[in-house]
Structure 1
Amino acid sequence: MTNFGGPNPIGGEQPASWPSPGAAPHSYPAPPQPWQQPAAYGPYPQTPPPAPRRSSNRRRVILTVSGAVIAIVVIVTGIVVVTNSSGPSGPASAGDTVRGYLEALARGDAQTALSYAISPPPDTTLLTDDVLKKQQEKAPISDIRIVESTDTGQVHVLVNFGDNALDETLFLKQAGDGSWKLPSAALPVDFRKDEAGARGKLIDAVTLYGKPIPASGRPYVFPGPVEFGSSNPNIAVDIVNPVYLLGNLEYGVNVDYSFTITDAGKEAVKKAMMPLVQQCAQSTELSPPGCPQQLGAGGMGGTAAWTAPTTLDEVTFTGDIDNTGRQSVTGSIVYTVTLTGSVFQWVNHPLPVGFQGYADMTTQPPGFTFYTG
């Protein structure tokens, strides 16, 4: 029989106080006295005894705690990644919003650019990829640098719009979801049509990059250069410094504009004048009513025979189209006249007649009226 070593080896002589088998022990055996000869130890076992159960439980606790720590790290890491991700729906900072907005403008992405605003503009007619890309062709956005972004939404940015190097401070607002948004992603360009009077009809002809502006006369555009034109071939719209940048985003601009007559418009006015010139030639009066001919005394009334010219070469267009939509026209019309006077006789006599009048440029084709005293 194999004996396992110890103070009371298994298989050795039992101490006198060891309880008989089957009886419940009343006390642990007393240790041997110093004077007693210790019992002999048996040989070592061939394999080590199994580890105590407590050690196994300890390893299990360690593994469980380690797994929990790893899970917490993964969850926290995921939260950090989600929180720090930037985009139009939830940028990490106000500076991220400004950078994202400018990058969207630079690549011609109108919808993404608009998503960085706290609210959409009332009119998006001209806020399209097509118009935005044309703006970028004229003045590409480059070298975006966020100098400072505060936790109150103030952003100091440096950026180039073509040859325009901008140094701007923008003030953003916090949306309901906590993300930072621009007050507006587009700016209103206001022609003040409600104050324009008759000239409001000319504003209706204004185009922006070939597209008509809204009936309000207040189109919204993205920052950058704007190319204005006219759908009316007789008039041109002239805009003072049509480049609107980041500093105009919040409040927009009142457009400083004027209208001028085009070469096609001048020809249209001359064409409108000709029936009146011919009508005035049908009179036999020395000074037909509503007409430019004004002959003084000396001729005999009712004896004038007027012949109208076939061309109007001495016509001058003075100044811009005024606030009433009128273009001032002056010059000379060369009639020929046959006239019997008290002391003279004219036969097919060339007679330059000076005139003043105006063209109504609010209609197409324009109308014409002579000024008469």
Structure 2
Amino acid sequence: MPLRDGEQFAGYTMVRLLGSGGMGEVYLARHPRFPRFEALKVLHPDLSADRDFQQRFNREAELAAGLWHPHIVGVHDRGEFDGQLWITMDYVDGADLGELMSSRYRTGMPRDQVVAIVSAVADALDHAHRQGLLHRDVKPANVIVSQPNDGSSPRILLSDFGIARPIDDTTGLTATNMAMGTVNYSSPEQLMGAPLDGRADQYSLAATAYYLLTGVKMFANLPAVAVISAHLTAPPPVPGAIRRDLDAADPVFARALAKDPRQRFGRCSDFAAALAAQLRISAHPQSIPPTAPPAGYPGWPAPPPTHTQGPAPKRRGRALRVAAVAAAVIAVAAVAGYLAIPSDGGGHSTQNAAEAQDAARLAGQHYLEALSRGDAAAALSMGAKAPADTQWVSADTLRAQLASSPITDIAVTSAPAAPGDDPNSVQYVMLSARFGQTLSQARVALRRNGNDWKLDNATAPVNIGTPGVTNASYKAVAVFGVPANGASSIAVFPGALAVSSSNRFIDITAQAPPVLLNALTGNGSPTTIQPVATLNDKGLAAAKTAVDNDEHYCYQGVAPPPECGSLSNNDSTVSITGAGDFSKAQFAFDPNTMVVTVSGSVVYIAHSQTTATVTYNAAGTVDLTKDRPTYARPGGGR
């Protein structure tokens, strides 16, 4: 039950409830001895009673308290009172970036403000990393813009070190090593529970910067599972695909958002400096007095009240989040006054774009639109050359892809040219589209072909099996129901893959990832289908029939051919009829050879003067690659 205004707890006097969450409640509280207000977090009794949680909680508080810096607001105290853990920290009133984005910057912040914010947070994170600590939850809601009540400049504050941990700590402060951070901003290694270092925070900072610049979250409007999948497999989104004036920063985001941490910048400040350089903005702007808020904007929060009676003021979302932290709040750098975003996006004028640039961009748009409506012929016509085999890029196969993963949210923007390229001969565009739940983006080249612009590739290669590995089951793979007939590589359109078997005796499945737009570039390894072949009921029946046919051929009431061998009763004139009893026989399928090895005993009904049944001790193979599978005995016999 929440504490009442004016109630005492661990010596603190409650002023008002700031908010509550899954772990407990957060209060604005008066310090018992000093004339100041603090944020007091009181944890739920069930968490407080958990010994493992107590250890994690105390450890987190110690980590945060040890994070000292001229711009760090520290944790003051922690303890236990009436069976509940508590922690106090500085009370910070302000607005977080999530609130500012939703209320004022729905299409993105001005670039200079974003660079100031990113540079400040990067410096804070690098300081924590030098102390051996990770933040692990960098996101807009944990970055506060605060203005002191003395009229000085607003400050940028990184909050919520409540899940900070030592870099070399592999035990984890949570129940698992998976991130507690918000999935929209979590790094791939964090989502996979892999070892982390400061480059995981860098990824989250870059994801935050992407949102601040564009007003669009990475992999937005997807369920959490799809967002996680996109972080792990989809190409990094770049801001130039949303705002054309930001395309110079695309390479910076491609590096900071790389799946492999080794491909990112060495430090967060290196990312911030690269972003500032590409956007041609100082990474460390001077402090600027705040301008007056625009009409209708609620303004900065007032200082906390000094009384404890009367109705509780309206809660502020930021106050809830700030006070909910279990650690320090870092004050780092000055922020420029709030400015409206220019109607042209603040970058270079699109009126100066060359005719060739617009024509190439339009060609890219036509390509994606043709794919989305299932027009295979039109999509193929947008490529410089058609694939050698078009069986897997037909109208039927494209419709099958769209049924599995429709193509939506199409966007095409011009992308920077490569050094030395002739813009009248080659242009680059950023293709962006959603394939089912997966957002895909890629920078691709288009080249002038007479009066038209063509993509280098309108299709993408897909390998079937591991190149250089001989496996008979690869020849039985069908894609979209079209047999591959032993082809080691096929050409497909971007989209989902459907893998099945062209051999009725086996089933084939494959963990086939979707082919995304980056496959059109030819960079990196092609998508590979790794088929898994299993013997199905028809295959098992075919193997039994092959054995039966062999035994009927051998034993017809006369001496059998030499390759047939003998039965259990050594009666050479026995005649067998009907299907065998295979209950004691074994069948082992080898997908590498598509051969079934038969062993064990098979019992048949016999026409003989000495016995009513005979037993055949099987020891042979059945080849399922043949149109009519046949049984072969050891040594090459039938």
Q: Normalization by structure 1: what TM-score?
A: 0.58
**Structure 1's 180 and 272: CA in aligned 2 closer, same or farther, altered over 3 A?**
same
- Provide the residue aligned with 1:208 in structure 2: 479
- Provide the residue aligned with 1:327 in structure 2: 596
- Provide the residue aligned with 2:448 in structure 1: 175
- Provide the residue aligned with 2:623 in structure 1: 360
Q: Is the 8 A contact 1:336 1:348 kept in 2?
A: no
Gaps of 5+ in 1: 1-79, 85-89, 340-345
SS in 2 for 1:184: coil
SS in 2 for 1:160: strand
Q: Is the 8 A contact 2:459 2:492 kept in 1?
A: yes
CA distance in structure 1 between the aligned counterparts of 2:507 and 2:483, rounded to whole angstroms: 14
**Structure 1's 214 and 193: CA in aligned 2 closer, same or farther, altered over 3 A?**
farther
Q: Does 1:122 align with 2:388?
A: yes
CA distance in structure 2 between the aligned counterparts of 1:131 and 1:236, rounded to whole angstroms: 20
Q: CA-atom RMSD, angstroms?
A: 4.1
Greater per-residue helix proportion: 2
Cα offset, 1:177, TM superposition:
4.3
- Provide the residue aligned with 1:199 in structure 2: 472
- Provide the residue aligned with 2:519 in structure 1: 248
Residues 132-171 of structure 1 correspond to what in structure 2 (within 5 A)?
A: 132-146=398-412, 149-152=415-418, 153-166=427-440, 168-171=441-444
CA distance in structure 1 between the aligned counterparts of 2:607 and 2:450, rounded to whole angstroms: 88
Residue deviations 1:258-298 (CA, integer Å, cap 9, x gap): 4433322222222221122234445899x995457576xxx
Residues 37-52 of structure 1 correspond to what in structure 2 (within 5 A)?
A: none
**Structure 1's 176 and 367: CA in aligned 2 closer, same or farther, altered over 3 A?**
same
Cα offset, 1:188, TM superposition:
2.6
Cα offset, 1:359, TM superposition:
1.1
Count of residues paired in the alignment: 274
CA distance in structure 2 between the aligned counterparts of 1:186 and 1:170, rounded to whole angstroms: 15
CA distance in structure 1 between the aligned counterparts of 2:380 and 2:483, rounded to whole angstroms: 21
Identity over aligned pairs, percent = 26
CA distance in structure 2 between the aligned counterparts of 1:291 and 1:303, rounded to whole angstroms: 10
Letter in 1 for 2:480: Y
Give the greater-gyration-radius structure (CA): 1
Letter in 1 for 2:601: S
**Structure 1's 338 and 130: CA in aligned 2 closer, same or farther, altered over 3 A?**
closer
Q: Does 1:273 align with 2:547?
A: yes
CA distance in structure 1 between the aligned counterparts of 2:416 and 2:451, rounded to whole angstroms: 14
CA distance in structure 2 between the aligned counterparts of 1:338 and 1:123, rounded to whole angstroms: 57
**Structure 1's 329 and 160: CA in aligned 2 closer, same or farther, altered over 3 A?**
farther
Gaps of 5+ in 2: 1-350, 419-426
CA distance in structure 2 between the aligned counterparts of 1:256 and 1:192, rounded to whole angstroms: 5
Cα offset, 1:184, TM superposition:
0.8
Match for 2:587 among 312, 317, 331? 317
Residue deviations 1:330-364 (CA, integer Å, cap 9, x gap): 3420246899xxxxxx9527565542322111211
Residue deviations 1:220-242 (CA, integer Å, cap 9, x gap): 21111222334442233333315
Q: Normalization by structure 2: what TM-score?
A: 0.36
Q: Does 1:131 align with 2:384?
A: no
